[in-house]
Structure 1
Amino acid sequence: MVAAAHWVLKSAGKEDYAFITTLGGVAVVLVWVIYQLGNLFDQVKSVFKLF
Structure 2
Amino acid sequence: MFDSSATASPLLAALNRQRQKPAPLSAFKVVIDRFLDDDEIVHLALEGNG
Task: Report the TM-score, using the length of structure 2 for normalisation.
Answer: 0.30
| Structure with the larger RCO, 1 or 2 (CA within 8 Å, 6+ apart) | 2
Look at both structures and tell me which one has the larger radius of gyration over its CA atoms.
1
